[in-house]
Amino acid sequence: MQVAFVVLLVFAAAILAPMLHRLLGRRTGWWLALIPTTIFLYYLSRITEFQAGGSIRYSLEWVPSLGLDFSFHVDGLSYLFVLLVSGIGAAVLVFGGGYLQGHPLQGRFYSYLLLFMGSMLGLVMADNLLLLFIFWEMTSVSSYLLIGFNHQDDEARRAAWQALLITGAGGLVLLAGILLLGGITGSFSFIQLLEQAEIVRQSPLYLPILLLVLGGVVTKSAQVPFHFWLPGAMSAPTPVSAYLHSATMVKAGIFLLARLNPVLGGTAEWHYLVTLMGAVTMLVGALMALPQTDLKRFLAYSTVSALGTIVLLLGLSTTLATKAAIIFLLVHSLYKATLFMVAGAVDHETGTRDVLSLGGLVRVMPITSAAAGLAALSMSGFPPLLGFISKELLYEAKIQTPDLSPLLLGIGVLANMVNVAVAVKVGIRPFWGRPGRACCEAHEAPLSLWLGPMVFAVTGLLFGLFPDLATPLLEPAVSAVKAENVDFTLKLWHGINPVFLLSVATVLGGVVLFRLRDHIRRLGNDLRRFSGLNPSRLYDRGLQSLMALARWQTRLIQHGFLRQYILLLVMIFGGLLLFSLLQMQEGSIRWNLSGIHLLDIALAVVILLATLTVTRTRSRMTAVVALGVVGFGIALIQVIYSAPDLAITQILVEMLAVILFVFLFYKMPRFSDLSSPGRKLRDALIALACGGIVTVLVLKAVALQIEEPVSSYYAQNSVLEAYGRNVVNVILVDFRALDTLGEILVLSLAALGVVALLKLKQKSESSS
Amino acid sequence: MSDISFSAILPELILCIFGILVMVLGPFLGRNSRSFGGTLALLGFATSIVGALLVPESAGKLFFNGMVTTDAFSIFFRVLFAAIGVVMTLGSLNYLHRLKLPTFEYFALLLFASAGMNFMVLSTDLLLTFIGLEILSIATYVLAGIRRDDAASNESAIKYFFMGSFSSAILLYGVALIYGSAHSTSYQAILKHAAAVNGQQQIPLLFLIGFGLIIVGFCFKVAVVPFQVWAPDVYEGAPTPITGFLSVASKMAGFAALIRILFQVLPHDLPQWVQLLVVSSILTMWIGNLSALTQTNIKRMLAYSSIAHAGYILIGIVAANQTGITAILYYAVAYALMNLGAFTIITILSGRDDRRVTLEDYKGIGFQYPQLSFPLTICLISLAGIPTTAGFIGKFFLFSAAVEEKMYLLAVLAVLAALVSVYYYLRVVVYMFMFEPDGKREVRIHPAAGVVVLVCCLLIFWFGLFPTWLLEVSRQAVILFLHP
């Protein structure tokens, strides 16, 4: 129960936040942070349960017929994520309270942030994949709201829209994958999916499912080639970047990948697709991070690279790699959240995020500097921080990969060198470097801005010094991903071995990269001029060409000309008949001409001539009269074939129609704007073809036997049932009495209508 | 003849009587009592809901010489149509007043159209179905052109009339062929005939072509590819509330009649038709959604979107399983709520001359008129199929029907088509909330329309969060189609 309650609680807080803000004013952030803190502490208190391999389940029926229910399943993996989301969430609420102090829409900001937090908590705790999808889309939407928070800004609006389109679309692709999964296994529950993992992997639909699910992952977790929305999303307020775009939301894709690892993982397709995707992202992210100058953009690209690393490790899916992935996930969340918040604090205090003009801040912002330094060291993998342990494990996992080892190791070392360089640029230089332009008027940030970063930085240090503190968090998570019990012991110091030497080389390489930063920036600027093919532009172009396609087909189909529409309708009609005729060979055409008289032929000729006249004439009146001739001709045929009642009706209708037409056309001009001969020819051909097809159909239908006519029933039963000898009278007042009543009604209504019309006319005459 | 039972057609009688009352009393009351027509129509529709609920439900028994059924399916749609009538009446009161349109004609035609739709769903005879269709069609031809002094409205009516007449003729030709083959137009007799021939030989050609043509006729009415071409032009030109009516009510009536014919009359295992309808469904979803992408006129955009939605509904028909048909009924309600809600709001915002319906006109109204922009957002996200709304449940249900039948490609293409649609629905939201308004404009919200909007939005969420009841009702209503 408490699982669902947690999510509801956060959503309730989201709804109430603007009101609370009005009540509490400046301290709202602190108060609201109590909610995630409570969640955090509550779950932390249950740590032994999870360590023992326990899990929490809760299920409430929602729409059983759809297989959709509120079922939650908190296992080791979810547990780690819940702690991250609630812990970092609390810090970000406090931080956001300080950062956006006095912003007119701060209440709305809290609201969006909590909405996101609730969705994210729901996402990581959901057992039902559909529920997961729902929360997945909710994180996309709340992320949209947060990125576009400064909606007066064109850039923010564009970035928000881009992020929403990409992650939202990815979500729907994921839904398609989930639907297929459910189609195979008959259930959307992850737990039941797990039991049928083998069936899924054997299924011919395995590859489509994998591709669709990965479609969700690449978009959400900003993998190449969909990585570009993430740096764009940096136009969000910094607390948002710290929370969504580094620590939590972008990890939703990772979460899903880890979650489905026991079901979809372990195959060759998985291995190559996921690993390659991760490797490319890692490399691209690292390379693009180097030439930046904005603190946040550095961090954004290095996040892309880090996400690539985790995906790569999950793709390898050895136990060691999984361990490395999970521990790196934790480390990255800790130091990235810290660095983002530090960047925010610096921006808040100095008014700039440009690394070129920052330096020497340690003198005015000592606490922030300390947090930044610790995080930067963790990021570059210095002992004794947790980042060091993580990097060692990472290298080890790559070395032990059977087939791709050298390549992956190469990319890995390079990416980590870049990480070191970025860490120095973001976490060291602005604080300990030469004092820059924006420095000395700044003050230490207020408590709300440094508390969070400091806590995370110190946590990273503590976990590094005493790795046993971290294992209870990591072990259940790894076990959940591998779906088996995994033993986990971490050591800070492994002695001097190849992995350690690699680490040293990485740090040295990173420092060299940092030294060469100006050259790299110049190189990067030069390269950018040639990069016409970057994915962001491809996205724009893709969107444009989709629009162009849409416009083209709309113009093609929806031109607005009625005659073409009718032409299309006639052609489809003829085509369908032709198709059916060709399909069915049975039924031969009987050429029995014995019953045809001269009169029939004469009538047919007259009707044909009249029809031709209709199509040829330039006068409306002639056309109407010719149409009348067609109608009367048909009536005469009916007379000949002994259907006088039908003929009478036909003649009356024809007369009425012709008279009405004549009245209407009396004042209209002659036809103008006639079709060109070519078009006429085309229309004639189509008309002839359709006519021909229908004729064949009618000839085939000739052999019909119609049942006995109704009239005999009335003739026989007139006396028996209604005691009347005049059959017509009996039909009118007995057999079809209701019809007669209806006709009387219609006539009287018509009479009333006439009266009303006359009355209206009098009125309007008298008024005018 | 003992099977004449007026209680079986009580709602239709009510609708017709009120229609006649409105039509006849109108000219006598004159222009001073505009709201009278609306009140009468409202009363008529409301009584008709009650009447439909009072109809004794019986699946097996037929009335009026085997022409009328009172099964749960017909009652479901009769209640739905009357409810749509209530919504239409409340939503267009102010509109008619603002544009100085003839109220009595409008409401009388609406009542007759509603009666026609009812006849389409309760009929178990091809001729009665056809007559119902024509009652609906003729009333809507006139309604589309009721703004007589407006060129667009006239164009809309003419196009609708011509295309509609053609398709009616095709349908009637199909009926004639069936009659020729089965010697009857009653569903029961046709089914018996089909079962008889099915045992011994191939199904006769005429019979098959007849059905094909009838399906074509209904495909026109519900506007699925390739019979959708009329829809955007007609929807754009018609008066805004009527556009809503055409895109919801007459479409649903067409689908209901089509379902009855396909599942109650048509002999089963006719795969070639299903194949054609699968193709049609895919094309309908894609052409509808792609065309909607580029529209800047919201009415036209929703016209294309309603084409796409017909494609989604078609999935339920081609899947032809319990999930599929149940989903169609659920979706009918959900779609009615979100589309009528949206059209009611668009009507309110359409201005004095019903022209303020482009995206530009929606710039910045988000925080200017939150009482309109938030409900419109809700309707649009429901149309887009975003979770927690009724639109999501319906769409999901339809798609899973396809998955159940192992039509994976269809399901995936449907999801991707829905993906495209998200773009244009949310674009409206972006225009409303993220741009600055071009200036102040005067918008008056009539309380009646306000109530409609509020109820639609609440129900969208209600059925989105607690869909079980409606799903159960829908399931009960379609049980009769599920042959063991």
* B326 vs B343: CA distance, rounded Å: 26
User: Measured between alpha carbons, how far is B378 from B386 in angstroms, rounded to an integer?
Assistant: 10
Question: Who contacts A108 (Cβ-Cβ below 8 Å, separation ≥6)?
Answer: A18, A149
Between CA A169 and CA B385 the distance in angstroms is: 12
DSSP B113-127: HHHHHHHHHHB-BHH
The H or E element spanning position B63 is strand B58-63
| Any domain includes A62 | no
Q: Which residue in this structure is represented by tokens 């649609």?
A: B421
Beta-ladder partners of A69: A61
Cross-strand pairs, A59: A71
- pLDDT tens digits along A682-698: 888 999 999 998 888 87
pLDDT at B85: 95
Residue B136 neighbours by CB under 8 Å, 6+ apart = B113, B116, B117, B120, B250, B253
> Is A323 within 8 Å of A488 (Cβ atoms)?
yes
CB atoms within 10 A of CB B367: 12
Instruction: Give dist(CA A487, CA A58) in Å, integer.
Output: 28
A668, A692, A712: which is the final residue of a domain?
A668
CB contacts of A707 in chain B (<8 Å) are 183
CB contact under 8 A, B397 and A66: yes
Report residue A404's pLDDT band, with 50, 70 and 90 as the boundaries: low
Predicted pLDDT at A587: 57
Q: Is B17 on the interface with A (CB under 8 A)?
A: no
Whether residue B137 has pLDDT greater than 80? yes
**Which pLDDT does position A406 carry in this prediction?**
79
**Does residue A485 register a pLDDT over 50?**
yes
A350 within some domain:
yes
Does residue A589 belong to the interface with chain B, where contact is any CB pair within 8 Å? Answer: no
- A636 and A762 housed in the same domain: no
% of chain B with per-residue pLDDT over 70: 95
pLDDT tens digits, A59-109: 887 777 777 788 888 888 999 999 999 999 999 999 988 888 888 888 888
Contacts of A152 in chain B (CB under 8 A): 436
The residue of A562, A568, A577 whose CB has the most chain B CBs within 10 angstroms, and thus the best one to mutate to test that interface, is A562
Average pLDDT score over residue span B395-423: 89
Nearest CB neighbour to A580, from listed B209, B420, B430: B209
> Is A658 inside a domain boundary?
yes
Please tell me the predicted confidence (pLDDT) of residue B284.
94
A260: tokens are 């489905």
Is a pLDDT exceeding 90 seen at residue B380? yes
Q: What's residue A438's pLDDT?
A: 57
Q: Is A758 on the interface with B (CB under 8 A)?
A: no
Strand-pair partners of A128: A189
Answer yes or no: are the C-beta atoms of A223 and A277 closer than 8 Å. Answer: yes
DSSP category for residue A706: P
Give A149-153 contacts, CB < 8 A, sequence gap 24+.
A149/A105, A149/A108, A149/A109, A149/A112, A149/A236, A149/A237, A149/A240, A150/A235, A150/A237, A151/B433, A151/B434, A152/B436, A153/A235
User: Which of A721-735, B293-307, B425-439 shows the lowest per-residue confidence on average (mean pLDDT)?
Assistant: A721-735
Q: Assess whether pLDDT exceeds 70 at residue A767.
A: no
Q: Sort out which chain A residues have CB atoms less than 8 A from B213's CB and list them.
A: 573, 576
Residue type, A279: A
| Spatial separation of the C-alpha atoms in residues A511 and A498, rounded to whole Å | 20
Using a CB-CB cut-off of 8 Å, the residues of chain A touching B25 are none
H-type helices in A400-466, by residue range?
A: 405-423, 429-432, 447-465
Secondary structure of A470-491 in the HEC alphabet?
HHHHHHHHHHHHHCCCCCCCCC
User: Which residues span the domain enclosing A313?
Assistant: 273-515
Round to whole Å and give the CA distance between B295 and B339.
17
Whether residues A151 and B433 touch (CB distance < 8 A) is answered with yes
Torsion angle, CA of A697/A698/A702/A707, rounded to 10 degrees? 100
Domain-embedded: residue A156: no
Strand partners, A70: A60
Same domain, A386 and A488: yes
**Can you tell me the distance from the alpha carbon of B132 to that of B123, in angstroms, rounded to the nearest whole number?**
8
Kindly report the nearest CA distance between residue A734 and chain B, in angstroms.
11
pLDDT of residue A308: 92
Question: How much is the pLDDT for A569?
Answer: 85
Which of B169, B393, B75 lies closest to A69 in space, CA to CA?
B393
Q: Is A757 on the interface with B (CB under 8 A)?
A: yes
Per-range mean pLDDT, top range of A308-312, A754-758, B261-265, B274-278: A308-312
Taking the CB of residue A740, how many other CB atoms lie within 10 A of it?
14
- CB–CB contact B163 A566 (8 Å): yes
H or E element that contains A679:
helix A677-701
Cβ of B408 within 8 Å of Cβ of A168? The answer is no
Minimum mean pLDDT among A763-767, B207-211, B348-352: which range? A763-767
- Quick one: closest CA in A to B205, which residue? A584
Strand runs labelled E in A67-201: 68-74
User: Given its phi and psi angles, is residue A69 left (phi above 0), alpha (psi -120 to 50 degrees) or beta?
Assistant: beta
Same domain as A324, residue A461: yes
Identify which of A505-514, A556-565, A713-722, B211-220 has the greatest average pLDDT: B211-220
Q: Is the pLDDT of residue B272 over 70?
A: no
pLDDT for residue B267: 64
- Model confidence at A441, pLDDT cuts 50, 70, 90, reads low
Q: Quick check: B484 pLDDT over 50?
A: no
Nearest to B180 among A157, A546, A704 (CB): A704
| pLDDT greater at residue B197 or residue A328 | A328
ipTM for the predicted complex: 0.82
Residue A764, pLDDT score: 65
Element (H, E) at B429: helix B408-434
Dihedral pair phi/psi, residue A489, rounded to 5° = -130, 135
Mutant choice from B273, B294, B465 vs A, greatest count of A C-beta within 10 A: B294
Amino acid at B423: Y
Q: For residues A194 and A263, what is the distance between their CA atoms, to the nearest angstrom?
A: 6
Contacts of residue B226, defined as CB under 8 A and 6 or more positions apart, other chains included, come to A568, A572, B280, B283
| Closest by Cα among B368, B234, B258 to B320 | B258
- Residue A118 touches chain B, beta carbons under 8 Å: no
- In angstroms, the CA A80 to CA A84 distance is 6
Overall residue count recorded for chain A in this entry: 768
Q: Output the pLDDT for position B395.
A: 92
Q: Give the number of other CB atoms < 10 A from CB of residue B250.
A: 24
Residue B169 contacts A, CB cutoff 8 Å: no
Q: What is the pLDDT of residue A117?
A: 93
- Whether B30 shows a pLDDT value over 80: the answer reads no
φ/ψ of residue B358, rounded to 5: -100, 165
pLDDT in tens, B396-405: 889 989 988 8
To the nearest whole number, what is the mean pLDDT of chain A? 84
pLDDT band at A658 (very low <50, low <70, confident <90, very high): confident
Q: For residues B259 and B266, what is the distance between their CA atoms, to the nearest angstrom? A: 10
Which of A152, A549, A562 comes nearest B159 by C-beta?
A562
Residue A563 contacts B where some CB pair is shorter than 8 Å: no
C-alpha span between B293 and B125 (Å, rounded): 41
A443 plus A299 within the same structural domain: yes
Report pLDDT digits (tens) over A14-44: 888 888 888 888 888 898 999 999 999 998 8
In this structure, the answer to whether residues A305 and A397 fall within a common structural domain is yes
Residue A718 lies in a domain: no
- With 80 as the cut, is the pLDDT of residue A724 above it? no
Give the pLDDT confidence score for residue B193 in this predicted structure.
80
Domain boundary among A668, A696, A725: A668
A750 at interface of B, judged by CB pairs closer than 8 A: no
Quote the CA–CA distance of B384 and B392 in Å, as a whole number: 8
Is residue A226 helix, strand or coil? coil
Please indicate, yes or no, whether residues A633 and A499 belong to a single structural domain of this protein: no
| Distance in Å, alpha carbon of A26 to nearest chain B alpha carbon | 25
The pLDDT of residue B77 is 95
Domain presence at residue A403: yes
The shortest C-alpha distance from A146 to chain B (Å) reads 13
With CB atoms and an 8 Å threshold, state whether B403 touches A182. yes
pLDDT of B75: 93
CA distance to partner chain A, nearest, from residue B189 (Å): 13
Return the closest-CA partner of residue A378 out of A287, A288, A453, A448: A453
Per-residue confidence (pLDDT) for residue B454, from 0 to 100: 94
Strands (E) located in B343-484: none
Residue from A342, A352, A251 nearest A303 by CA:
A251
In a domain, A124, yes or no: no
- pLDDT band at residue A732 under the 50/70/90 scheme: confident
* Chain A contact for B202 (CB, 8 A cutoff): yes
pLDDT computed for residue B31 by the predictor: 64
B373 near A CB under 8 A: no
Helix, strand, coil in percent for chain A, rounding step 5: 75, 5, 20
Min Cα separation A173/chain B (Å):
7
Residue A741 sits at the chain B interface (C-beta within 8 Å): no
Statement: residue A652 has pLDDT above 70: yes
Express each pLDDT in B236-252 by its tens digit: 999 999 999 999 999 99
**With bands split at pLDDT 50, 70 and 90, how would you rate the model's confidence at A437?**
low
Last residue of a domain, one of A649, A668, A687: A668
Residue B1 is predicted with a pLDDT of: 46
B386, pLDDT greater than 90: no
Q: Is B208 on the interface with A (CB under 8 A)?
A: yes
Name the residue among B23, B163, B183 with its Cβ closest to that of A707.
B183
- Residue B82 is predicted with a pLDDT of 95
User: With pLDDT > 90 as the criterion, what percentage of chain A qualifies?
Assistant: 17
- Residue B212: which of A62, A173, A580 has the nearest Cβ? A580
DSSP reduced 3-state for A55: coil
Q: Which residues of A touch B167 (CB under 8 A)?
A: 569
Single-letter residue type at A761: K
Residues A362 and A277 in one domain: yes
Q: Does the structure show a pLDDT above 60 at A704?
A: no
Give the whole-angstrom CA distance, residue A57 versus residue A315.
Answer: 28
Highest mean pLDDT among A496-510, A694-708, B205-219, B249-263: B249-263
Which single residue is written with the structure tokens 């195979």? A184
Q: Which residues of A134-166 are buried (b: 16+ CB within 10 A; e: fewer)?
A: bbbbbbbbbbbbbbbbebeeeebbebbbbbbbb
> A629: pLDDT confidence band, cut at 50, 70 and 90?
very high
pLDDT of residue A341 exceeding 60, the answer is yes
Mean pLDDT of B149-163: 91
**pLDDT surpassing 70 at residue B20:** yes
CB A279 within 8 A of CB A139: no
Cα gap A647→B23, rounded to integer Å:
33
Pair A312, A410 in one domain: yes
What residues pair up with A56 in beta bridges, in sequence order? Answer: A74
Phi, psi for residue A641 in degrees, rounded to 5: -90, 35
Q: How far B336 CA lies from chain A's nearest CA (Å)?
A: 21
B162 near A CB under 8 A: yes
A698 and chain B: CB distance < 8 Å anywhere? no
Q: How far apart are CA A685 and CA A616, in angstroms?
A: 15
Between A529 and A318, name the one with better pLDDT.
Answer: A318
Yes or no: say if B276 and B217 are a contact pair by the CB < 8 Å rule. no
pLDDT digits (tens, 9 = 90+) for B36-82: 888 999 999 999 999 999 888 877 788 888 889 989 999 999 999 99
How far apart are alpha carbons B327 and B313 in whole angstroms? Answer: 8
In a domain, A167, yes or no: no
Q: Which of B330, B304, B346, B345 is nearest to B457 (CA)?
A: B345
Give A583's contacts in chain B (Cβ within 8 Å).
Answer: 272
Contact A565 B159 (CB under 8 A): yes
- Say how far apart CA A449 and CA A371 lie, in whole Å: 11
Distance (Å) from the alpha carbon of B166 to chain A's nearest alpha carbon? 8
B438-458 mean pLDDT: 86
Question: B1, B25, B218, B229: which to substitute to probe chain A, counting the most A Cβ within 10 Å?
Answer: B229
The answer to whether residue A262 scores a pLDDT higher than 50 is yes
In chain A, which among 217-276 make CB contacts under 8 A with chain B? none
Measuring CA to CA, how many Å separate B421 from each of A180, B226, B430? 21, 20, 14
What is the count of structural domains for chain A?
Answer: 3
- The model's pLDDT over A518-559, given as tens digits with 9 standing for 90+, comes to 777 777 776 665 554 567 777 888 888 888 888 888 888 878
- Is there a single domain that holds both residue A468 and residue A379? yes
The pLDDT score that the predictor gives to residue B182 is 82
Where does residue B351 fall: left (phi above 0), alpha (psi -120 to 50 degrees), or beta otherwise?
A: left
Which amino acid does the sequence have at A67? G
